[in-house]
Structure 1
Amino acid sequence: MASRSPPPPPSAASSTGQESESRATPPSSARSAKPAHTWRSEQARIHAGLPEPDPKTTLVVGRWDYLGSGYSPSAALLVVGVWHRKELERQFIAEGGC
């Protein structure tokens, strides 16, 4: 039977907490790569008439529309059904079932 050699020791980078240096993509090129939704965002910005983005500022666009409160009729029906089933289950257990 052949003897197995012990596993290699962990690399110096992982033991010192410098894992970020061993990335396949350098941070500078990762930052310069644009996400896939950039074109859509740019089109929305143009359509809305917003100014060209400035890297030194943050544009915050907020709009709140009140849509109501509480459950919709179909969601309320679902909630009542779940509550009723749980209530039947509680009664069954209280009467000595299972």
Structure 2
Amino acid sequence: MPLRPSATQMRTSTIFAMLALLGTAKAAHEAWCTAAKDGSGPPDPRFTPVCCAVSQESKNILYNRAVGKCQDKEGRRGTIDERAFQNCCIDNGVGGNSD
């Protein structure tokens, strides 16, 4: 006869699963640095390409010079590490934004 987990074990498992999800990196389809530190305004062409290279989670990321943003080549969401991108912008003294 199989053992059934107790309600406490189920709650504990659920809590650990939620904590694991919270620890994952947030990802975006496109991201850009801005001259404004609050992330508003147009893309900053000086730092966006640099931060694009730093925050790639796959080889499908490129700096799109026409729009001034770091983008996923295939249009899929979730391939740019937003945290790494934002930190790169901040480290360079500018703001960052993403979709």
Q: Judge same fold: TM > 0.5, yes or no.
A: no
**Higher helix proportion:** 1
TM bucket (normalised to shorter chain) is under 0.3
* TM-score of the two chains, using structure 2 as the length reference: 0.25
**Higher strand proportion:** 2
* TM-score of the two chains, using structure 1 as the length reference: 0.25
Q: Which has the larger radius of gyration?
A: 1
